[in-house]
Structure 1
């Protein structure tokens, strides 16, 4: 396996950032590429949004609120869209939707049915997820006529590289969501987070990610469980304990983001109003 498969090199940071800063959707009818993040509780969905924002703002930020104390319950409760601000009052043409985490068992965490509605653009901003019942068609937060910009253009699963074996009920929910996205033709990728905590080699130096047998096995196991190809599983370390930007952290974030945006843009290019 080539080293650049997972660590393209920090010298490419400026090139990737330049590409993303100049990015415009191919489809003129699409205002922004919508990225929906999902996964179990505490895997780093909100932290990934913050990490992306850090890179673009060139400083530490906390755009999406996170918690280090919610081990088994989701900190995120509402459907919220996060934009990335560029110079002036304009935002970059890609947005992220953070959702309630998937929890083990029935009646806990975000419901797969709500995620399926979100994929089609039927969930309005501010909807509070209810683990007991799904969003109904007569609810004020149900969008009956979603635009192509309301729809999700790329689905990204985030999973903790340091987590133990995934609970069967959580895995089943993830498979349901993947199947719904596949029926809609929505491209899917995965982010393997917390890679520094899962492996001593990457804890010492993030550039060792391509040489870590432990991480590559973890990615292979995850690929087999969920069916996401290995080249669509992206190892990332989110900003968590740092107080300053780190070039190696940025490298993995930018590499993942560029692929996510390109996949979403190719899908959005085929959509018609």
Structure 2
């Protein structure tokens, strides 16, 4: 009887079954998503407390920092707390528990959401009202002209349709646009066509999409035609030829274009979901076009389309687009590939399968549109000042 009491005393509180087998998890770590600056805790529970514990971050032993990490073991429960989460805390974390009978591991992903890194206007009406009241700062310019260019299928025509839908109060589809899922690789636009935005003093010009340079510019719009377009040498409704450029000897060539014939802002259109797959030939064409525009002082901005296809957060809620790491990464990638500063790149979503107005989509488009309007107006205002000095 005394021996029984002795054994009860020695093994009181111990899990005898756990002594004969390796540790197992009763509850495993769970993935966590937090905003920048928040604290986050990962916790789990094993079937025994008689273990040693090791934490890893992204496959490497976690180097705990005082005031940043706190590791706790409370009986069979284990936890890791991370204070003031930052982007470099985002990783896959693994806990391994081990005793003489074996070991067990489980992992969880900590995702750190960005704070709002750019402000999105929440209401469309103030922007619509401001644009309807807008006055051009050059009496010789009747309308501000924007030229859209980019690869085939980027959504150039859809941008025009989206803006016309906003200002004309109904879904506008008269600017013919190819199916955004097309893989034909052939441009849907063939003419240098002018599109007005309601009764506003703003017009867009759409051109054929840029294609690969496999046959010495034998496919897609020619870069020299685009350059002639923003110099004002190409007339409305000119039909592009893939094999023959517009030259000065052409009967429709505008020899001495006025400021009102010129393009006042060059808008590059880039599909976010295809950015990494764009050929170097197309990117070089776009850089060459931008370089020529820079020589003429023409402002250049980028509309990055199809953003909902690269980010689930954005697809579910457009209002969170400027909290998305994926969108931020795409903007940085676009900046590096085209040589455009990030504050000149605007993510947008065009109307595609929607049949009703969407205010979040409209706000995103209007914010980008407002920026190109002011950029174009600054250009014609500067031109007016130069002309006065010459006179």
The separation in 2 between residues aligned to 1:184 and 1:264, in whole angstroms, is 13
Q: Report whether the alignment pairs 1:99 with 2:99.
A: no
SS in structure 2 opposite 1:10? coil
Q: 1:128 aligns with which of 235, 239, 245?
A: 239
Deviation at 1:63, TM superposition (A): 2.9
Which residue of structure 1 lines up, in the alignment, with residue 196 of structure 2?
A: 83
Match of 1:28 in 2: 139
Q: Which residue pairs with 1:224 in the alignment?
A: 336
Task: Say whether the 8 Å CA contact 1:190–1:232 is kept in structure 2.
Answer: yes
SS in 2 for 1:79: strand
For residues 232-268 of structure 1, give each alpha carbon's deviation from its aligned partner in whole angstroms, at most 9, with x where no partner exists: 1001000111001000000101100000100000001
Match of 1:259 among 362, 367, 371: 371
Aligned to 1:73: 186
Following superposition, which runs of at least 4 residues in structure 1 exceed 4 angstroms of deviation? none
- The separation in 1 between residues aligned to 2:339 and 2:127, in whole angstroms, is 28
Mapped pair 1:203 → 2:315: yes
Gaps of 5+ in 2: 1-113
Q: Which residue of 1 aligns with 2:296?
A: 184
Q: Which has the higher contact order (CA 8 A, sep 6+)?
A: 1
Q: Does the CA contact (< 8 Å) of 1:33 and 1:93 recur in 2?
A: yes
Question: Highest CA radius of gyration, 1 or 2?
Answer: 2
> Is 1:33–1:153's contact at 8 Å kept on the other side of the alignment?
yes
The answer on whether the counterparts of 1:154 and 1:260 sit within 8 Å (CA) in structure 2 is yes
Higher helix share: 1
* 8 Å contact from structure 1 (residues 53, 63) kept in 2: no
CA distance in 2, matches of 1:222, 1:116: 22
CA shift for structure 1 position 224: 0.7
Distance 1:127 1:266 in 2: 28
In the other structure, the counterpart of 1:161 is 272
The CA deviation at 1:173 is 0.4
Corresponding residue pairs, total? 266
**Residues 194 and 237 of structure 1 are in contact (CA less than 8 Å); yes or no, is this contact kept in structure 2?**
yes
Structure 1 unaligned segments of length 5 or more: list them: 86-90
2:352 to 227, 237, 240: 240
Q: Deviations over 1:102-140 (max 9, x none)?
A: 001231100000011011100001111112221011213
Q: What secondary structure is seen at the aligned counterpart in 1 of 2:205?
A: strand
| Structure 2 residue corresponding to 1:44, chosen from 136, 155, 159 | 155
CA offsets 1:64-83 (integer angstroms, 9 cap, x no match): 11121463010001101101
Q: Any conservation in 2 of the 1:49–1:63 contact (CA below 8 Å)?
A: no
- Cα distance in 1 between the residues matched to 2:117 and 2:263: 29
Would the aligned equivalents of 2:115 and 2:323 in 1 still touch at CA under 8 Å?
no
Partner of 1:3, secondary structure, is coil
Aligned mates of 1:231, 1:138 — CA distance in 2 = 40
